[in-house]
Chain A
């Protein structure tokens, strides 16, 4: 119940300010731009959307997800409203979950608004819509992971800009450290073990298989545990600041 109250306030706050709209518009424009230019959507005849569409999402999210998440706790700490939250009859977890789900909902709206592309491939060809749905789930999970990471960073600092920069770097690391071209260069210079460790931390392995339409338990568990770890970390930081 308290979680729902926090969720509603946060969501209203997102959509009463221009930021959320701006980010959604930038997201829609950039996905479309990538899909129709580099993605070769028309020529490649890639009805599964795997390469032309979903491939670009982690790149876009690493830049835009922190912009949605940066205010989550930074703002509360800067304005002192954390003192209200901390003295209301609710738990830290109520607040963390409410805020996290609100930020995730903004992205759910953004992803839903890409539906014209799904309509288009269905019009042009005969795609596997199950695989497309799995691709969307993959995108949402990548985005959810980046949001959770951003939330963790925002618990550390009262400065939104610091939070934005640090979490963008962290998200970019999770994208680059498993990207084939990048790991190939690294593996030339260092040991394969290091490369393997890096790949394990990257979103690619897990999102790529979802993009191909494979719903593997291990991927869901991987995303779930990273998200949970970040939320747990957030709770620990907030509690430590109050002890």
Chain B
């Protein structure tokens, strides 16, 4: 469902994503791990068609994001890292707007909005203005936007960032459940999330994949059977030479 082939992105002379290839099949949840600045967000922005790759190809449900962006984007639900929202709207107003953009009409639109509000536990703030929401609610409003049109592919950039432990748990559970019917790519630097929701994980560092496997396989590769040790061994710390 998601096919990434030799995706490369450089900003000026800086290599953000370097010849990355992987696929995510239906029913799979791929955890995208890596330290800050590894190129996770950049990769996701290329798959979702927000920025153009320097070279390489990304396909969603067989549709090239580069050749047919508008069609490919109909298949994707995307939660950007900063969970951006239009602050002057209410939660329902915002979701209505997103549903309109997605071409949902009438009862279909109404049902989609109700479902998204339920799934993301937003009913208590449904008619509240977005600029008065707390961070957790803002994040889930943006997540609701990504789920609205029941997309085949979900791309979630740090979906649990800034949530409290209860909310984190709920979102992980949600990802796991949704993953049974969709292809999900989600990024994180919290290693316990790999166990909690992923069927497979890749570790990226400085734009390259340095490890790829099921959580179990990765643990077997790790020095003391701990993902943290593997992560620390494979990725560069910013205290190291930042060349």
Q: Which residues of A contact B (CB under 8 A)?
A: 1-2, 5-6, 8-9, 12-13, 16-17, 79-84, 86-91, 242-243
Contacts and interface: CB of A to CB of B under 8 A. Distances in A.
B211 interface: no
Contacts, number: 66
Contacts of B87: 79
Given A243-B51, A243-B52, A88 B85 contact: no
Prevailing SS type, chain A contact patch = helix
Interface in B97-148: 97-98, 100-103, 145
A95 to B, nearest CB: 10
Contact of A89 (B73, B84, B85, B86): B73
A90 to B, nearest CB: 6
A90 B101 contact: yes
B84 A86 contact: no
24 contacts: A1-B103, A5-B97, A6-B101, A8-B100, A9-B86, A9-B97, A12-B89, A12-B93, A13-B89, A16-B88, A80-B82, A81-B84, A81-B85, A83-B50, A83-B82, A83-B84, A86-B49, A86-B50, A87-B50, A88-B73, A89-B73, A89-B102, A89-B103, A242-B52
B98 to A, nearest CB: 8
Interface of B: 45, 48-52, 70-71, 73-74, 76, 78, 80, 82, 84-89, 93, 97-98, 100-103, 145
B51 A87 contact: no
A1 B102 CA distance: 11
B89 A89 contact: no
A242 B71 contact: no
Contacts of A89: 70-71, 73-74, 101-103
Given A13-B89, A80-B82, A242-B50, A5 B101 contact: yes
